[in-house]
Amino acid sequence: MIKIFDFNKINIDKVLNRKIESYSAYENTVKEIIEYVKTAGDKALYEYGEKFDKVKLTSLMVTKQEILEAYNTLDSDFVDVLKRAASNIEYFHSFQKREGFEKVSDSGVIVGQKFTPIEKVGIYVPGGTASYPSTVLMNALPAKIAGVKQIIMTTPPMPNGKLKAEILVAADIAGVDKIFKCGGAGAIAALAFGTESIPKVDKIVGPGNIFVALAKKQVFGNVGIDMVAGPSEILVVADNTAKAKNVAADLLSQAEHDKLATAVLITDSKVLANEVALEIEKQLEKLPRKNIAKESIDNNGKIIVVDNLDKGIEIANEIAPEHLELCVANPFDYLDKVINAGSIFLGMYTPEALGDYYAGPNHTLPTSGSAKFSSPLSVDDFIKKSSYIYYTEKEINKISRDVVEFANREGLQAHGKSILVRCKDYE
């Protein structure tokens, strides 16, 4: 059962028990997989597909015929749902597009900044028996809006060699250019270094299990990555106007993800705290993923009772959750007070699940407190910024002494000389 704490009687850090897990036991395995894919290419991917996904493939690339079959297989109503979700996601992310700037001084000096899309991006989508079309939309659409020229997707196939129809249709709607049937650390290695079939990309985004996460860490530097995400988190700040059944449902919506997921309620109402605890037990019994959700709630679930909502927001900022719900009477009164959160859900009718699938903002969010210094996946993740400078002969002569003084102070005389050789008084 979920534990209830009085904030005045606890150490918040000990209650949350956030710790950095050591996965050293898996690191050598991941390294071996990466090295084998680097040397053996497609051959390694076929072998890993047979070993891990129990599938014997003759081709890694998804054909246009397979995508057409997916449309014919999938319920047309759900295709429409995917299209409406994609429209919402496109709408939100379209406002993130940025333009460069150029400033010209009276003396003719030009400074500016330009934005350039990343050329090739790889998207990893968990697959096999699972199906996450939302992940496809959330990763591919911002890349497309940014202007990425080629979007490559990898996802593990089912034992029959096929991919889930939902995944293929979502990829087609989002404008993915090529889709490949491979998963795990091997897929990350293929995207990072390229194989006979799979192009090397410049950046890899998308979630995955511990092997995928470690592989992304190991290939970082050769390619860019979005983030290394931890277990899912939800923090609900609620007052006495919130309904216990709604709050309990929202906490369980994240607890069912993973045994390591964290679900926390902060409230200034002891009555609500007790009602939510009872409601969680009631709703747990009806969940198909009851065992996973129960372990998450028992080990990581918390209800913290505070004296007032301002204190609750203060604690929320310290926790810096992936998802923050403000289930309070006047949520916009507290919005500006929130400084650390991946995504914020305002009011009684905005559950976190809206953000997972449909509303528009990205669901790839910073976890484990990293919302203190990082942000949700966005169009910015698929562009590069370059600055540029232009000086006239007159202006470089004018400021030459300043730059040379800097260079000499740092003991880098060649830097200074590169300025002086352009000046008219240099001999």
Instruction: State the pLDDT confidence band at 69, using cuts at 50, 70 and 90.
Output: very high
Query: Phi/psi at 146 (nearest 5 deg)?
Result: -70, -20
Dihedral (CA of 21, 25, 29, 34) sign: positive
d(CA 235, CA 316): 7
**pLDDT at site 122:** 98
Q: What is the mean pLDDT of the chain?
A: 94
Average pLDDT, integer, range 274-292: 96
> Domain check: are 194 and 48 in the same one?
yes
Average pLDDT, integer, range 102-107: 96
The number of distinct structural domains making up the chain is 3
User: How far is the CA of 130 from the CAs of 163, 167, 242, 307, 365, in angstroms?
Assistant: 10, 10, 33, 42, 20
CATH number of the domain bearing residue 184: 3.40.50.1980
> Domain check: are 236 and 360 in the same one?
yes
Domain of residue 53 covers: 41-225
Q: What is the pTM of this model?
A: 0.93
> Domain check: are 195 and 267 in the same one?
no
> Domain check: are 153 and 207 in the same one?
yes
> Domain check: are 12 and 116 in the same one?
no
Q: Position 113: which residue type?
A: Q
Question: Helix (H, G, I), strand (E, B), or coil: what is residue 343?
Answer: strand
Instruction: State the pLDDT confidence band at 18, using cuts at 50, 70 and 90.
Output: low
Q: Which residues are catalytic, by number?
A: 322-323
> Domain check: are 197 and 327 in the same one?
no
Question: Helix (H, G, I), strand (E, B), or coil: what is residue 54?
Answer: coil
**pLDDT at site 176:** 98
**pLDDT at site 130:** 72
Contacts with 372 (C-beta within 8 Å, 6 or more apart), sequence order? 320, 340
Instruction: State the pLDDT confidence band at 228, using cuts at 50, 70 and 90.
Output: confident
Q: How far is CA 318 from the centre of its chain?
A: 20
Examine residue 175 and state whether it is found in any structural domain, yes or no. yes
Cβ distance 396 to 422 under 8 Å?
A: yes
d(CA 331, CA 328): 5
Q: How far is CA 342 from the centre of its chain?
A: 10
Contacts with 263 (C-beta within 8 Å, 6 or more apart), sequence order? 2, 233, 234, 251, 252, 254, 255, 296, 297, 300, 301, 302
Determine what percent of the chain is predicted with pLDDT higher than 70. Answer: 97
- Enter the DSSP assignment of 382: G
**pLDDT at site 16:** 72
Cβ distance 201 to 122 under 8 Å?
A: yes
Cβ distance 232 to 257 under 8 Å?
A: yes
Q: What angle do CA 331, 333, 339 make, to 5 degrees?
A: 85
Q: Which one of 225, 259, 274 terminates a domain? A: 225
